[in-house]
Structure 1
Amino acid sequence: MNLFSEDEDWEAKLKPILRKYKGKKHPLEYQNTYQLLVMVILSAQDSDANINTIAPKLFEKYPTLKSISQTDIETFTSHITKVRNYTTKAQWILDIAKTIKEDANIPLTMSGLTALKGVGRKSANVILRETNKPAEGIIADLHVIRVAPRIGIIKESKDGNKVEKDLMQILPKNIWSEIGMAISFLGRETCRPKPKCIECLLADICLYYNTEVI
């Protein structure tokens, strides 16, 4: 395999996971863009499962950004104490609510989203994908950071922004919207830290499988 080359037809090689996961909803169990924004911020360095657990009561208490903007930091914080780094995240969310005030004002561009406190490129890419907006990058979560180099698309890096940049240089823009989540789902289900290679849809083109397993 001619690895790490822009000449590789990665769109064709990755088609099995694009077919399987295209349009599959993110594991965060949100109901609207407001909930998605809040849950994405809360999920940083935490698990989607944990955020899904605390979300129903949180959104029952605070059904809109406006309702958050009208509360105080101590009251809001008390509803998310089971979230990692909850004090910082509470301040971010309260600042966003007081700044943009209404759910309808949530920006749905990379520049608009990353201008919000607590929203980096990874989070913005998730929000853009889930709201069916044009992709301006590729989701590079912890699963993508692990799996993309293992497959052989890019060289290994622990820096999510570098992983995203490298993927954007290699993969065609027409698959940016879906490929990040497709690789992420593969990492969640099959290409775990201890991978289940026999079950993998990409085993035949995977660097790890073809050099380390067989």
Structure 2
Amino acid sequence: MNLFDNTTDWVGKLNPILTKYNGRKHPLNYTNLYQLVVMVVLSAQDSDANINATSPMLFEAFPNMESLSQTNAGRLYPYIDKVNHFNTKANWLLEIAKTVQKDENIPLTINRLTALKGIGRKSANVILRELGFPAEGIIADLHVIRVAPRIGLAIETKDSLKLEKQLMQNLPKIIWGEIGMALSFLGREICRPKPKCEECPINKICEYYIDLEKN
């Protein structure tokens, strides 16, 4: 199969998961843009569950960018010390807060978001998707990195930027906004490291499953 053959009807083939997961909120339990940005930064190389457990006390102490911009690492550490690499992430958050100053100044384009410390393309794509903004890329988290090559949407790689580039070349822009999270949810629930292929709504078009059936 030519992975980058744009005549492939990926919209139709992926429609079952696009429908199943359409508009489903990201697992991070945020209530506003400020919280989403902070939680996305904290969630790098950590679990959403841990960040959800950590965040309530953090946001009680620092409810907005302005309050965060006025603190320091020593005061911030006790609220995030159960987060992986909390020292580095504290510095990122403080730099973001000092740059942005107020919630209403949080940028909302992928280039301006990724200019902030601790926010890469994956995080920026998540933020824009959660706000319902037009997609400028495709979310490529660790679940998508596992799932997309299995299906046949990309060549296997551990590099999220390389995977995102493949997906953007292979998939029509009309589904960029939802397909990343759809693949992520599929990876969280069904296409696990040990996949539950029989339960998968797109197993009939999945290269991994087709190969299993042949063997």
The equivalent of 2:94 in structure 1 is 94
Distance (Å, rounded) in 1 between the aligned partners of 2:158 and 2:170? 18
Distance in structure 2 (CA, Å) of the matches to 1:100 and 1:152: 40
| RMSD over equivalenced CA pairs, Å | 0.8
Amino acid at match of 1:107: P
Name the structure 1 match of 2:115. Answer: 115
For normalisation by structure 2, the TM-score amounts to: 0.97
The 5-angstrom pairing of residues 16-95 of structure 1 reads 16-95=16-95
CA contact (8 A) 1:3 1:153 kept: no
Q: What aligned pairs does 1:176-187 form with structure 2 within 5 A after superposition?
A: 176-187=176-187
Give the structure 2 partner of residue 127 of structure 1. Answer: 127
Structure 1 residue runs of 4 or more that deviate by more than 3 Å after TM superposition = none
SS for the counterpart of 2:124 is helix
Aligned length: 213
Measure the CA separation in 2 of the matches of 1:106 and 1:134.
17
Post-superposition shift, 1:213?
4.2
Q: What SS does structure 2 have at the residue aligned with 1:78?
A: helix
Shift of 1:212: 2.3
1:99 is displaced (CA, Å) by 1.1
Q: Give the aligned residue type for 1:100.
A: V
User: Partner of 2:80: helix, strand, or coil?
Assistant: coil
Alpha-carbon distance in structure 1 between the residues aligned to 2:45 and 2:170: 27
Taking only the aligned residue pairs, the percentage that are identical comes to 63
CA distance in 2, matches of 1:161, 1:83: 24
In structure 1, the gaps of 5 or more residues are none
Q: Which amino acid aligns with 1:195?
A: P
Aligned to 2:193: 193
What is the CA–CA distance in structure 2 between the aligned matches of 1:170 and 1:192, rounded to whole Å?
A: 23
Q: How many angstroms apart in 2 are the aligned matches of 1:192 and 1:209?
A: 13
- Measured after TM superposition, the shift of residue 133 of structure 1 is 0.9
Which 10-residue stretch deviates more, 150-159 or 32-41?
150-159
State how far apart, in whole Å, the 2-side matches of 1:150 and 1:179 are.
15
SS in 2 for 1:14: helix
TM-score by length of 1: 0.98
Question: Who is 2:14 aligned against?
Answer: 14
Give the counterpart letter for 1:47 in structure 2. S
Q: Please give the secondary structure, in 1, of the residue aligned with 2:79.
A: coil
Matches of 1:105 and 1:45, distance apart in 2 = 27
- Which sections of structure 2, spanning at least 5 residues, go unmatched? none
Cα offset, 1:7, TM superposition: 2.3
